Amino acid sequence: MLRHVARTSLCRVSRAATTFHGRVLDIERTSVPRQRASRYTQTFGNVFTDHMFLVDWDERAGWHTPRILPHGPMDLPPTCKGLQYSVQAFESVKAYRCNQSDCVRLFRPELHLHRLAYSAERMTLPSFNIRELLQCIKTLVRLDADWVPAEDKHALYVRMVLLSTDESLDVGPSRRARLFVVCSPVGPYFSRGRPALSLLAPRKRVRAPYGGFGSCMIGANFGPLIQPAQQAAKEGFDQVLWLHPKGNDYIMTDMGIMNIFVRFRGELATPPLHGLVHPGITRLSVLDLARHWKECRVLERDISMSELTEGLRSGEVTEVFATGTSVNVVPVGAISYANETYRIPLNLDDHFSQAGPMAKRLHDALDGIQRGAADFRDWTVAV
């Protein structure tokens, strides 16, 4: 799916009649810098840098002149389709400070922008030139480079949003839109004392149906997940493991807003991109690394709950972990399903380990690549 997304997006970009250009970017620097003293102690994504990027579009003039301006409120019509019908798409990429050279690098940004273009097409939002948007983002991150954290497990979270600003209550294609980018210095997504996540796997709800828009990064895919996650938290769980019925069983799809992996003996498996699963960039990176190492079979296939629970009972399942831009790789220590809780060993050989061997190796490998300690297939881009 993700590789198909990239090809589709490139075709759309090449046919675009108009685009904005990073070389003609208007920059207005803030005269009142924001307070940075407690930026790492806040809840994930609650602190923002000094500047933001913004560019408007309309069907007659195309893309307007792109701007970087002080971070602050925006004017939006109350009747715009972005508010009325959630006609919007979003995307996030992280910028990391390198351990040795102190430079700042983005992790696989073009794949993130291809995914934004794919989601925007699904929402009938305008196409854009991926390379030009990347140039604008690099300029924004350079301008706010002092905000990029150097601490372990910290990064600059770059959030892109493309939404309809068309003032109309008709349910139709947008004639106006706005693309904007904000940045937030962040630490770990899960601020908890225990090392691994506990999941609730309900059978009466699904995150996305076949043939829907479950693979798109849009608000309509994320907002409805808040209430189930809130209910799971009340019952003592960290997140929801989303299932989908298949025959007399259920298959795993996503974990919250993240992808899920299961380590069997001799195999690493994750659900396939069949429309029920987010086409995660970290997911793809984990698959690429595991296939590069050639230490086990790496498969994208359905994983049923009967297979998972039987594997946990027999010892065939040795690890479960989740991946995502916000978390990198995070281990799962327990799953509650059908009124039974299944404990998942983090490391059979080390009972004091904070993560299983596969999850830890993947986390450390990705962290090294993201922070410039290792190079792998040009996955990072200097700003």
Burial label, 167 (beta-carbon count in 10 A; 0-12, 13-18, 19+): middle
Question: Which pLDDT score, from 0 to 100, does residue 4 have?
Answer: 39
Q: What is the pLDDT of residues 21-51, one digit of tens each?
A: 999 999 999 999 988 755 455 578 889 999 9
| CA 334 from centroid of its chain's CA atoms | 23
Q: Residue 7 and residue 52: Cα distance in Å, rounded?
A: 29
Question: Which pLDDT score, from 0 to 100, does residue 9 have?
Answer: 40
Q: Residue 116 and residue 110: Cα distance in Å, rounded?
A: 10
Question: Which pLDDT score, from 0 to 100, does residue 324 have?
Answer: 95
Provide the H-helix boundaries in the chain: 2-15, 81-84, 109-122, 130-143, 219-222, 226-234, 281-293, 305-314, 357-370
Number of residues that this document lists for the chain: 383
Question: Which residues have a Cβ under 8 Å from the Cβ of 326 and sit 6 or more positions away?
Answer: 44, 92, 157, 186, 189, 257, 258
Q: Report which of 37, 62, 66 is spatially closest to residue 138, judged by C-alpha positions.
A: 66
**Segments of the chain with pLDDT less than 50:** 1-17, 39
**Could you give the angle at the alpha carbon of 163 between the alpha carbons of 243 and 172, nearest 5°?**
90
